[in-house]
Amino acid sequence: MVPDDASAEFHDFFERHHAELARLAYLLTGDPDTAEDLAADALVELWHRWDRVRGADHPVAYARGADHPVAYARGVVANKARSRIRSAVRERRRLSPFRLHRSERVDDPDVAAAVDVRTALARLSFGKRACVVLRHALDLSERETALALGVSVGTVKSQTSKGMAELRRMLGTRAAGELVGRGQ
């Protein structure tokens, strides 16, 4: 059982960060119901570990200036989203022989203008999508993104760069620039 002061602290954490975690999950999965489920599951997992996550058991993270419980929660959401996506892909592959195949050909020659951001993000690999979302949609630093995903800063830099390059190809340079708020 978590002591009352820790319970109040977790409640405050939940109130401040639930919406951000649900938004992250939505941007990673593209489904609002799944996003709510993932955010809730991540917060339940965080609650079960709250005594360890909130305390001095993580001096390295605090020494680096990280808001460790938030970084931990983002990492849990990202991992749960990755697992959910992998399960969905396995299920689609398993059922694909039983589906009718439709042509997804687009008659409009201006395909880049017709593709919306969610669809473009969904086409990125999970690692690229997670880096782009954390860096640009949630405005995290490279270090915070690396901590949330459990990867190196170099991986964040390369995955973000590759992801943005793919988005530029799909959406056009101007639209991708507006996505990150830089109007490139």
DSSP of 142-162, one letter per residue? HHHHHHHHTS-HHHHHHHHHH
152 and 174 belong to one structural domain: yes
Q: Cβ of 177: how many Cβ atoms within 10 Å?
A: 16
Range of the structural domain that residue 144 is part of: 103-184
* Predicted local confidence at residue 181, as pLDDT: 57
The Cα–Cα gap between 120 and 149 comes to: 21
* Predicted local confidence at residue 145, as pLDDT: 92
- pLDDT > 70 in the chain, percent: 71
Rounded average pLDDT over 63-86? 81
Q: Looking at residue 169, which CATH number applies to its domain? A: 1.10.10.10
7 and 46 belong to one structural domain: yes
Question: Residue 176 above 70 pLDDT?
Answer: no
Residue 116: left (phi > 0), alpha (psi -120 to 50), or beta?
beta
Burial (CB < 10 A; 0-12, 13-18, 19+), residue 45, is middle
Rounded average pLDDT over 154-168? 94
pTM: 0.60
Q: What is the DSSP letter of 110?
A: -
* Domain endpoint, select from 101, 119, 144: 101
Give the chain's domain count.
Answer: 2
